A and B are shown apart, each in its own frame.
Chain A
Amino acid sequence: MRDRTPGGRLFDAVNYAILSAVACVCILPFIYVLAVSFTSPEEVARGGLILFPREWSLAAYEYIFSTGTLTNSLLITVYVTVVGTLINLIFTTTMAYPLSRTRLRGRQGVLLGVLITMLFSGGMIPTYFVVSGLGLTNTLWSLMIPSAISAFNLIVLKNFFQQIPSEVEDSAKIDGCNDVEVFFRIALPLSGPAIATFALFYSVDHWNTFFNAVLYLNDSSKWTIQVYLREIVILAQSNIGDSSRLEEMNIQPLTIRMAVVVFATLPIMLVYPFLQKHFVKGVMLGSVKG
């Protein structure tokens, strides 16, 4: 199987070299940010590329926790992620299941209605007025309810439910279950892995949510971690505190920015190893045409 010709070896060498370089480019920025956030101010001031801190320091982390803004936005983001994902799962599964029953009258019509929303939408401004008309603006519901179902996930899950053999459903019916009981006792338990995948996708979306928060929340006490990150890193606003206090505590603003980036990324990195097993399957599920 292995290619032993000189041309083949050259090909392999070049291929491995390029792939290694691509992998490094993908991961090095994260390692750099993590390293600098733990590095002492003196070493940061000297500059250059730090991939492993020689002089460790937790000053940046101590500082951002002492201000309370970060803790607050972290708590809000965790809340939105947990509750939001639950809402996503409830809405998506309860809609996908009836749509997977081919005998259901009017099913095609509803499916068509869902497909149309994937092609055409009212856009930002009318949507904003619907959300504000319902009184959701400036509440955390605005981050959860308007994105309760992703049409794409819905259709993938519908296809998944459809694969459950109807004999299983029939025998449960004979035992006296109604459709709701069949859904809870049979369809849901049989779809564990698929639902786990969507739970992960939805929760990543909630953790990363940024624009909806900018759009719908005016109150800075409700900022999610991504909005906070933008203020500090991109707009370089001095919510990090007054510079005199930073100097007094001997902290580089740079390390503080890095520490906030770490927090905005950390949960993703923590669940990533668990995520990875599932998501490839999830994407494959999605690529099967409905």
Chain B
Amino acid sequence: MRKESAGKLFKDVVRDKWLYIMLLPGVLYFLIFKYVPMYGLVMAFQDFRPGLGFTNSPWVGLKHFERLFGEPQFWRLFRNTLLLAIYNLVFFFPAPILLALMLNEVRREKFKRFVQTLVYIPHFVSWVVVVGICYILFTTENGVVNELLYRLTGEKIPFLLSPEWFRTVIVSQQIWKEVGWGTIIFLAALTGVDMQLYEAARIDGASRLRQIWHVTLPAIRSTIVILLILRLGNFLDTGFEQIFLMLTATNREVGEVFDTFVYTKGLTQGQYSYSAAVGMFKSVVALALVLGANWTAKKFGQEGVY
């Protein structure tokens, strides 16, 4: 019995030899660039030296993690990352839903398509362009926004330099760049809504807002839940490029997050093992978050992602 299935396996593999050969480069890619780095996380438990590699560096156990949790700087990072993530969830996450609902109410196809064409554009430019344009517009030295503000109120606001504005500016940039793009998936979900439901709601005397509340929103509820779960998986990813670009000497106190810290400590100051430990801490928390969110969603009778 066993011998027979082994023989069949061998025959199948020989039959599909070309498919396996085609598969090989991709599998190698994932092994080398995704799985070797995962194995490389052992460096968080070592005093890693580049010359010795992941296998020969001396082991130090939990030293770097102990240092991590003992440092006041860690809690500052934790707080900054968490606050940005919460801001993101509260202000950025609902924005595309709101915009999609508004677009869905437009009956003139041409106007709808025109607005869609324009709001998708920012998604395609890089963070450097977004931050660059933001610098040009909002700087206190001849930035057009501050010039207009000055003419109206006689005051200028240091949007880019003051720590109080940092989170607002980050979240606003994010909304500006991605709000339009985010609507696509909700608009797709909305194309399936049965028109008769609106008809029925109207006969019952529902206003436009009530129709949105009772017909449109329930129709996209499962999409919202799935995206929320996925969002939680990236909860601690605070937009590394963006924050890296926005960090200045004056806002580091509120702006430094896990990702930027890993870069600065690890690659510019050479504390490899310590920063790998910080990165690992972040990855593990993120994994726990997405599994937890998925489990909770299933618990409440929603379809999960996995």
**Which residues in A have some Cβ–Cβ distance to B below 8 Å?**
1-3, 7-8, 11-12, 15-16, 18-20, 22-23, 25-27, 29-30, 32-33, 47-49, 90-92, 94-95, 97-99, 101, 103-105, 110, 113-114, 117, 119-134, 145-146, 148-149, 154, 178-180, 183, 204, 207-211, 215, 226-227, 229-230, 233-234, 254, 257-258, 261, 264-265, 268-269, 272, 275-276, 279-280, 283-284, 287
Chain A residues whose C-beta falls within 8 Å of the C-beta of B102 in the assembled complex: 15, 18-19
> Nearest-CB distance from A191 to chain B (Å)?
15
Establish whether residues A19 and B18, one from each chain, have CB atoms under 8 Å apart when the complex forms: no
A23 CA / B13 CA spacing, docked (Å):
55
Partner of A27, one of B39, B53, B118: B118
User: Which residue of chain B is the closest to A18 with respect to CB atoms?
Assistant: B102
A170 CA / B250 CA spacing, docked (Å):
66
Please judge, given known A-B contacts A11-B208, A47-B142, A124-B279, whether A226 and B128 are in contact too, CB under 8 Å: yes
Establish whether residues A148 and B133, one from each chain, have CB atoms under 8 Å apart when the complex forms: no
Chain A residues whose C-beta falls within 8 Å of the C-beta of B27 in the assembled complex: 95, 110, 113
A105 CA / B20 CA spacing, docked (Å):
9
> Does B2 reach chain A (CB closer than 8 Å)?
no
> Does B114 reach chain A (CB closer than 8 Å)?
yes
Which residues from 249 to 306 on chain B have a C-beta closer than 8 Å to any C-beta of chain A? 259, 262-263, 266-267, 272, 275-276, 279-280, 282-283, 286-287, 290
A8 CA / B37 CA spacing, docked (Å):
57
Chain A residues whose C-beta falls within 8 Å of the C-beta of B276 in the assembled complex: 123, 125-126
Please judge, given known A-B contacts A8-B208, A123-B41, whether A23 and B144 are in contact too, CB under 8 Å: no
A283 CA / B133 CA spacing, docked (Å):
27
Partner of B37, one of A7, A130, A204: A130
Establish whether residues A254 and B136, one from each chain, have CB atoms under 8 Å apart when the complex forms: yes
> Does B111 reach chain A (CB closer than 8 Å)?
yes
Chain A residues whose C-beta falls within 8 Å of the C-beta of B225 in the assembled complex: none
0 or 1 for each of B86-121: is its CB under 8 Å from A? (1 = yes): 000000000000010011011100010011011111
Establish whether residues A211 and B282, one from each chain, have CB atoms under 8 Å apart when the complex forms: no
**Which residues in B have some Cβ–Cβ distance to A below 8 Å?**
9, 12-13, 16, 18-23, 25-27, 29-30, 32-41, 43, 48, 50, 53-54, 99, 102-103, 105-107, 111, 114-115, 117-122, 124-129, 131-133, 135-137, 142, 144, 147-148, 176, 179-180, 184-185, 188, 207-209, 233, 240-241, 244-245, 259, 262-263, 266-267, 272, 275-276, 279-280, 282-283, 286-287, 290
Chain A residues whose C-beta falls within 8 Å of the C-beta of B23 in the assembled complex: 94-95, 98-99, 110
User: Which residue of chain B is the closest to A273 with respect to CB atoms?
Assistant: B117
> Nearest-CB distance from A42 to chain B (Å)?
14
Establish whether residues B122 and A26, one from each chain, have CB atoms under 8 Å apart when the complex forms: yes
> Nearest-CB distance from B51 to chain A (Å)?
11
Please judge, given known A-B contacts A120-B283, A123-B279, A210-B241, whether A94 and B26 are in contact too, CB under 8 Å: yes
A98 CA / B41 CA spacing, docked (Å):
31
Chain B residues whose C-beta falls within 8 Å of the C-beta of A279 in the assembled complex: 120
Establish whether residues B176 and A126, one from each chain, have CB atoms under 8 Å apart when the complex forms: no
